[in-house]
Every structure is written in C-alpha cells, then in structure tokens.
Structure 1
C-alpha cells in the first residue's frame, strides 16, 4: 500500500504514543480520518470544535504531553480558537490539525478559506502548512517538539485537502527527540541556596503543568524543613499538597489573606514553573518589592515575567529541586511566620456555619465534596464565580488533579471531564459548571455518553452571568444589564442524554445527593438551583 501524507502523520502520532485524537469531522481532512481508521489511536468525536479543543487541552494538563485535536477550515477553526488561546496563555502543549482548502483554489476567496497564520500567529507558538508531501512528517515531528519544549503552548498545522492524500515516495520514520532535563551542578545552585538560607521572608510560588508527585514531594521536604511558605499561581493549586504545613494558599482571584501576606511581604520570591504575571500579582500591585527574585522554568525568554530577575535557571522545577543543596532548618522567626500564615489559610479554607452570604452555599456544597471525594479525584471546571468555592474548599494532594482554564475561558468543565474520564477511567471525575459556563459546551454530555466515560457534573445555576453581574454592581450599582439568563431544566436535559439528573433546591440537601451519585458507579448531573442574581427576573 502506498504511503500518503495522512498515513505518515498517523504513523508519527503512533510513534509518539498519542492515545487519542479529539475532533469534529470535516470534508477538508477526510484523508486523515481515513488514515486513523485502522490505527490504535482512538478517535473521539465531539459535538463542537471548542469542546474538542478543551478535551485535548485537558488531556495535556493531566498527562504532561501534548494533546491533539483536529478540526476543519474556517468555521471549525474559529470554534477551536478558544482552546488555542487558552493553551497559549496557560502554557499547555497542544497540537492542532486544521483541514484547509486545496492549494489550487488558494487566495481566491474560496469556500471557508482563511489565513491560518493571520488567525493564529499571535496565539500559537508556531503555525505550519504542509504543502510538501516529502517533508510533512518532519514538520509534524517539529510541531510536537515546539509544543512541548521551552515554554509549552499550541502549534497549529494546516492540512491542504489534496496534500493529505498525496503519495510519499520516501516516508521517514522519525523517532521523538529526547530532551534530557537540564541539570545544574552544585556551583550553579549555590547562589540560590545561599539566598534562600539568608532571606528572612522567602516564599515559593508554584505553577505550570510540569509538576508530578515526585517533584511536589521534593519541594514539600525543602519547604517544611526550611520553613518557607508555598503559594501557587492562579489555578495551579493542585501542584503542591494542601496538607503540608508549608502550604498557605493560591494567589489570584479569590485568594486568601495568608497567601497575600506570604507573597506580598516576601524579601525573596522563588518562582517554580511560573513567573510574575498580572493575575497572581493583582495586576502588579502585590509583591514585586523583594530584594531577590529567582525564576525556575523552561521558558528561556521569560515572556510573561514582569519585574526583576536576580537568578534565572532554565530547567523544569523538579530537576532544579533535585540538584538544590539541602537548606538549613528554618529559623524560629521564619517558622512563626509560616505558622501564622498557615493558620490563616486553614481557617479560611474550612467551611464554617457562622459565615453569612454566598459563603454559606459554597461551604455546604464544596465542603460536602471535600468530605466525600477520594484524594485522587479529578476536578474540572470552566470560569465563573462558582469556581472560587472550589479553589477555597477543595483540597488537592496530588498534582494533575485539577483541569481548568487560567485565562478565564468559559465552557471547559464538561469537555475536560470527558478527557479526564478517558485518561483515568479508574478515578472519580467531577465537572463543575455555572449555568452560563454549561451553556457553552454542555452538549458534550453526549460525547461523555458516547465514549463510555463517567463523570459527575454539577451545574450551579444562579440564572445569570454571576461574575459579570458582580462587576456591574461595583461599577454601576443597581443597574443590571444583559447578565440575566433563562435556563432549561438541567436534570431533564441530562436524562435526555441517558444520564441520571437530580435537582437540588437547597444547598443543605446537596451532600446526600452527591453521595448517591458517587456510589452509583455511573455518570450523573446535579442541578443546584441558587437564588437568581437579579431577584424576580429569572426563575
């Protein structure tokens, strides 16, 4: 059988160990779909390209390897752009195949034609078009290397329709490049060790997707011994075990006072896998006054870092921590400060009946989840004020147990749960979605059922776009405009997909419903109805 461009692409995907390709089919890449027909790679068919992209992004977040998504030209690529932007801002590796028009009708305003580089040049690490059959496999191999190396991110590959089925006379079997992690000797790390030992108020800031249990455990030993508090970048809170006495919370939206003190008053900040970005620093108003700044990560250019850099190590955090000289035991002053910040975090992250307002339902709902979920449960989410409760009350003990967008993209919770249930079919997966968030990709319940996945979907319904409504109230009090939603019966919608649906009208009744869903062994949707954000304007 003659090799084609499409078959050489699939061969390379198999060689890389790609387990799944998420997609919405299109006539522009039929050749690739045909080449996948006899491949062990699972083809996961989503209902919308944005959902497919979020599935691939979640797979990357949970595995540390590039997720793969395939979409068609024009409208399909437009729908997938939300996942590409998220992967770029979140520094998550993603390879996006986009079917294109045939080359002989290019630049003629042809049906669904668009400029691939013009669309994605500012939100992708690289954009390729496979115009030459003999070098197609090399370009695909290069795309994966770019996506996964340095600062990770998305790479977009254009697939002209007729090129996919073109013969390849001399197909190349390209093994994935080996990238041994950078290792620094004792001399190179001595300056960092001395600075960490000498600082009075040091802090570690963790982030990124490269954390695993070994690297988290190594940081835990160092931080607890040296009495150095650990905080996380926004929505990177699963990188470090929350049971550690060194953990004092995450930065960014919904942060706690202990984390803000640890970061804002530090005289040494050591960034591990992240940098000083706008969200974690409250738009650069928190922190930045430290005497010493250490940055450790794969990004040699520090594109997203604002502020000084005293020491810069281009290495994964785990490799850097492995080489770090054991630090001296923390001073009594450092230990007292850490204990104070930890106490503030524990009080803040423990539901209390005495709290009033929104924290009552958040404490009821997420407190119940925390009590009932196993330590290795995976939480997926989109964006919205509902996520603040998860960041506050759900505690993570293992890296790669949370998949949500750091760029504020809505609609990721349900599609991310599809991917999580396929990557880890033996683990509990919970998808969180506000009513606005669910409306953007809730159709992927059908994909969850079609793939045989299992997830508990919690739809938190306040009849509106709650985050935007809160901003309106601050800037234009008493004048709600354009933020109210009229919603369907979500329990009935779930049942229409073959998924048990449960309606909960009082947060106090959530725990037993959630417990039964956990015990059922199947997917379930729990519709939690809250008071409308604008009373009287929505049911």
Structure 2
C-alpha cells in the first residue's frame, strides 16, 4: 500500500486536476497503476512521478487491463489501469468486458481529447459512453477539475458495491491541466449486507427438508476467512460443495466436502448431481450459462437459495426461493447450525471427484504427455501457489489436475478471454512477491499478450510459465471435429521457440519434446524462479489430443 504523499489531503493549495486525481488514488490505498502512456494524460503521469504509487508500464493496453483485473481478484480492491484515447481505449476494451462478465472491480482511466475538440472528429476522438456504456457499471467524464477527487472516490464505490464491475473515467486533456484547490475526499463506505435471524431460520428450514443439498460457491465478495468458514460449515453438515467455473480456489480441494467444479471440461457426472439435488444453495455465484450446460440442467423443483450482494441478481436465471442480500463474507458470519446430512450423498460425489482429478498413466509418444507433465507440476507447487491461465484447451489440464488449497489462488477469465494468463501472472508476482506463481498457457493464448514478458523482466516479476504448444487453436479445432469432421479450417498456428523468446529477455527458458525430460526441467525452472528470474517451459504436445485422459 502506498503511503499518502506530502500534502495529499491539503485544502487551499492549488494543484492540477491530474495531481488531485493521483492524490485521491493515494488516499484510497492504490499501490499500483497499470498502463501504457499517452499524451492525453500527461498530468497524471507527471503526478505519478513523485507518488508512492508504482506506475507499471505495460506493452499493450489489453495486457495492462488484465493485470489490473488480476490485482483486483487477489486483493478485493479495484485494479486501476490508465490508457490514452481511441487506440488505447480500444485495446483496453477486452479487460472491461472481462471485468463486467467476471464481476471484478476495475477502474479504467482514459485520457480524452480537449473539451474544445469534442465532436469534431479530432485526432483519436471517440465516444466514451458509446463504447463502454453497455459493459461498464458507470461511465464518468471529468469536466470540472475540482471534482477529480470526488469522482474517483465515486468510481471506487460503484465498482465495489453490489455486483462488482468496471467503471470508466474519461479525462479530457485540458481539464487535467486546470488548477484547483479542492481536497481529497474520504473513501465511501458500503455494507456487505447481512443475514437476519429470521432469514437464517428460513434457510435452516429449507436445509432441514433437503436430502440431497448442493452448495455452489462462486462469484465475488469472498475473503480467505469466509472461504474457510463456509468450507468448514459444509464439512460439519456433510453438504457437498461444487465450485462454479474458474472459482475452484473458494474451497480447499483436500476438504471432504469438495465435490468438484462446474463448467467446460468438468466431470459430466456433476450435471447429473445438479439434476438430482433437492436444494441448491448458491453462495456468491448464481445459476448461469456455463454452470448449467446452457441453462438446460438442474432440478426445476429444487428450492433455490442465493447469497449475493447484487439486489438485481442479474446473472441468475432460475427460481429464487430465498435471496440473502449479503456477500459471502457476511454470510459466513451467520451460518445456521443444524444436523448433518446423511453421508451417502456427499461421499458418492467426493469419490467421483477424486477419480476425475487423477491424471492418466504415461503414454509413450513423440510429444510431451500433458497429463503426466501437469501431475509433475502439481507435485512441485506450494500449497499457497497462485495459478493463472487464460482460455483454451490447455486450461482444462490446469483446472482438472492442479489442486487449490487457499483463497485467493486462481486467476482465470470467466468470460473466456484469451491472453489473460501471462499478464495475470505478472501482476500476481508483483502483488505477492513471496508466493509461487504458475502460468499455464496455450500457444495461441500466450501470444495474445506474450509481449508482457518484457514487463515481467522490467519489474522483476518471477512467474513460472508453462506453454502447451499444439500448433493450433485447439478449442475451435475441437468444435470443428464435432461439427465438420476432417475439415480443419483457420485454426493452424506457426510458433517460435518460446524458450528462446524467454532467454532473449534474460529469463530462464527451455523447450521440451519428451515427457521424461519434464521433471528435471521443472526443477531447473523453479530454481531460476527462486533465484529471482521468471522461467518458461515450452512443451511440444500432441495436436490430436485435445482433452485430458484422466483415469
């Protein structure tokens, strides 16, 4: 956390609106701003020069936005990203969409053309509201310098309240240079909601009637203590817990209550459990598309309880018998105690999960066996390791075979955005320099933002990056095999030697084509990480194998 700079809270002394904005970020405890510089917000950049806030200079605005999202996921505070006008804002749009669909708090600062140049098709001009009005919780334009601090505080409050999400603040170039004597303002406090005694009693009545209750954890509003408390409660009551897609770190995978995760690549048997459950308790998350097999699964007669601070339950698409307007953290302090359920229901789900999470036996081939390689990686990961990955078939191995034991420890885009993994891993290493950070990437996903290796090298980030190279966009090829067998089209890729690319940045890098070479290579890579260098392992994998084998 950055300390407030001298005079940050002063009243009466004039400074530019850009300097006031930075002082407000300091007052809100922002440790880092990720971004790509632009002449449209020079006053902000100048104020950051003397600020305790670190300006992390990235190589593309999409990568900067993903880093801000990763910081938000790890800390619960809005991540902040700064970009310039049209081209910069366009590149950052992918992060805004990810923040919207993932319900992650983020502040996007966008430099704009001077006020006098508006609506004249001036250089790099665009419509801030037109671009972001449907994918942000609020779009704000700073038109009065004295409101800079107030509107930043407002943006932080909006981004974190209810269902979190992105807020976009437009910063006209000439407004940023205008002088003001306005002070910084206090952070806006907001409640995480609460569970009343009558509501807890109503929940207990519903739980008492259920023979096959299913607890589904996901969404936002979690803390490490809340995750541990909800898991322990489920253990005491023998309630099986299933994580929503890419929310697997909300329950310790060693817990006897953990039954697996919903979503792409998960155990198909879990959808049968969703159909059989006679009570669904959603904590933090909601019934949505990916979880439910396209809104097709789930017992329609099962009472549904939703714990969410979102009063609108925007993403929930089924019945609601009880809505507890509270964050998971608030819910964790009001868990109703009662008798334990019969053991057969959760024991059966746990046994199926343990089988599904077991990698397949080695298969000899000319490629690296990804089941075996992922198992070797899992053996070397620390209990609090942070795993980051983007979108693609490679992510299924990470989701299935890399167990999670602490919260927060998973960074993955729930909207399926490619290119997320490497920037997220860089940010994770900056936020938690003492923790092991592992990025699992596909060849297509990695090169969406592979340039952020330069950011890792520049700022001393030390993730271990493992790239599964199948020379193609594997997810799309899998769909083609299903719908147009024998007719691959538009999915082949030609790749560099990623190990050599890493070495060109002064990082540790190797390329592997034999499964037997993986364990020793992992040891060398982790030794490099321990010595202060990021490391990359480029694994050549069979392009015909698009799913884990398992057992």
Q: Same fold (TM over 0.5)?
A: yes
Q: Is the 8 A contact 2:367 2:541 kept in 1?
A: no
In 2, distance between residues paired with 1:290 and 1:46? 50
* Distance apart, 1:489 and its partner CA: 1.2
Q: Is the 8 A contact 1:366 1:389 kept in 2?
A: yes
Match of 1:305 in 2: 316
Q: Which moved more, 1:514-523 or 1:123-132?
A: 514-523
Match of 2:514 in 1: 506
Q: Is the 8 A contact 1:380 1:432 kept in 2?
A: yes
Match of 2:274 among 263, 277, 283: 263
Q: Where do 1:202-217 residues align within 5 Å?
A: 202-217=213-228
Q: Does 1:372 align with 2:383?
A: no
Q: Does 1:323 align with 2:331?
A: no
Match of 2:393 in 1: 385
Q: Is the 8 A contact 1:96 1:157 kept in 2?
A: yes
Match of 2:212 among 178, 201, 205: 201
Q: Does 1:72 align with 2:84?
A: yes
Tell me the alpha carbon deviations over residues 246-287 of structure 1, each in whole angstroms, 9 at most, x when there is no partner: 101010101114432332211110111111110000101111
Match of 1:116 in 2: 128
Q: Where do 1:158-237 residues align within 5 Å?
A: 158-169=170-181, 171-237=182-248
Q: Is the 8 A contact 1:24 1:46 kept in 2?
A: yes
Tell me the alpha carbon deviations over residues 30-62 of structure 1, each in whole angstroms, 9 at most, x when there is no partner: 011001110000000000000000000000011
Q: Does 1:470 align with 2:478?
A: yes
Tell me the alpha carbon deviations over residues 128-153 of structure 1, each in whole angstroms, 9 at most, x when there is no partner: 00011122221111000000110000
Match of 2:34 in 1: 22
State the secondary structure of the residue aligned to 2:214: strand
Cα 1:130–1:358 shift into 2, 3 Å: farther
In 1, distance between residues paired with 2:422 and 2:394? 15
Tell me the alpha carbon deviations over residues 271-305 of structure 1, each in whole angstroms, 9 at most, x when there is no partner: 11111110000101111524210000111101111
* Distance apart, 1:318 and its partner CA: 2.2
Q: Is the 8 A contact 1:182 1:316 kept in 2?
A: yes
State the secondary structure of the residue aligned to 1:440: coil
State the secondary structure of the residue aligned to 2:333: helix
State the secondary structure of the residue aligned to 1:98: strand
Match of 2:438 among 422, 430, 434: 430
Q: Which runs of 4+ in 1 moved over 4 A?
A: 354-360
* Distance apart, 1:358 and its partner CA: 13
State the secondary structure of the residue aligned to 2:288: coil
Match of 1:252 in 2: 263
Q: Is the 8 A contact 2:367 2:513 kept in 1?
A: no
* Distance apart, 1:423 and its partner CA: 0.4
* Distance apart, 1:519 and its partner CA: 2.2
In 2, distance between residues paired with 1:107 and 1:185? 52
**TM-score, length-scaled by structure 2:** 0.94
Match of 1:406 in 2: 414
State the secondary structure of the residue aligned to 1:82: helix
In 1, distance between residues paired with 2:312 and 2:170? 27
The number of equivalent residue pairs is 531
**TM-score, length-scaled by structure 1:** 0.96
The answer for unaligned runs of 5 or more in structure 1 is: none
* Distance apart, 1:507 and its partner CA: 3.0
Match of 2:64 in 1: 52
Match of 1:129 among 112, 118, 141: 141
In 2, distance between residues paired with 1:158 and 1:364? 49
* Distance apart, 1:360 and its partner CA: 8.7
In 1, distance between residues paired with 2:370 and 2:208? 40
Match of 1:294 in 2: 305
* Distance apart, 1:315 and its partner CA: 0.5
The Cα RMSD (Å) is 1.8
The answer for unaligned runs of 5 or more in structure 2 is: 1-12, 547-551
Match of 2:252 in 1: 241
In 2, distance between residues paired with 1:305 and 1:121? 22
Match of 2:93 among 64, 71, 81: 81
Q: Does 1:149 align with 2:157?
A: no
Match of 2:7 in 1: none
State the secondary structure of the residue aligned to 1:151: coil
